[in-house]
A and B are shown apart, each in its own frame.
Chain A
Amino acid sequence: QKEVEQDPGPLSVPEGAIVSLNCTYSNSAFQYFMWYRQYSRKGPELLMYTYSSGNKEDGRFTAQVDKSSKYISLFIRDSQPSDSATYLCAMEDGGATNKLIFGTGTLLAVQP
Chain B
Amino acid sequence: DTAVSQTPKYLVTQMGNDKSIKCEQNLGHDTMYWYKQDSKKFLKIMFSYNNKELIINETVPNRFSPKSPDKAHLNLHINSLELGDSAVYFCASSRENTGELFFGEGSRLTVL
**Nearest opposing residue in chain A for B105, CB measure:** A43
Contact, CB under 8 Å: A104 / B41: yes
Contacts of A99 in B (CB 8 A): 45, 48, 56
Contact, CB under 8 Å: A102 / B44: yes
What total of chain A residues lie within 8 Å of the partner, measured CB to CB? 25
Contact, CB under 8 Å: A90 / B99: yes
Could you give, for residues 70-106 of chain B, a 1 whenever the CB lies within 8 Å of some chain A CB and a 0 otherwise? Answer: 0000000000000000000010101011111111111
What total of chain B residues lie within 8 Å of the partner, measured CB to CB? 25
How many A-B residue pairs lie within 8 Å, measured between CB atoms? 63
Chain B interface: which of A19-27, A44-52, A53-61? A44-52
**Nearest opposing residue in chain A for B45, CB measure:** A99
Assembled-state Cα–Cα distance A93/B4 (Å) = 25
Contacts of B27 in A (CB 8 A): none
| Residue A76 CB within 8 A of the other chain | no
**Nearest opposing residue in chain B for A106, CB measure:** B41
Assembled-state Cα–Cα distance A45/B4 (Å) = 12
Contact, CB under 8 Å: A97 / B43: no
Contacts of A90 in B (CB 8 A): 99
| Residue A108 CB within 8 A of the other chain | no
| Interfacial residues of chain B within 44-60, with CB under 8 A of chain A in the complex | 44-45, 48, 55-56
B residues apposed to A, CB below 8 Å: 4, 31, 40-45, 48, 55-56, 90, 92, 94, 96-106
* Nearest 3 A/B pairs, CB to CB: A43-B103, A102-B43, A105-B41
A-B contact pairs, 20 of them (CB 8 A): A34-B99, A34-B100, A38-B41, A43-B90, A43-B92, A43-B105, A44-B43, A46-B100, A49-B100, A86-B41, A92-B99, A96-B97, A97-B56, A98-B97, A99-B48, A100-B101, A102-B43, A104-B40, A104-B41, A104-B42
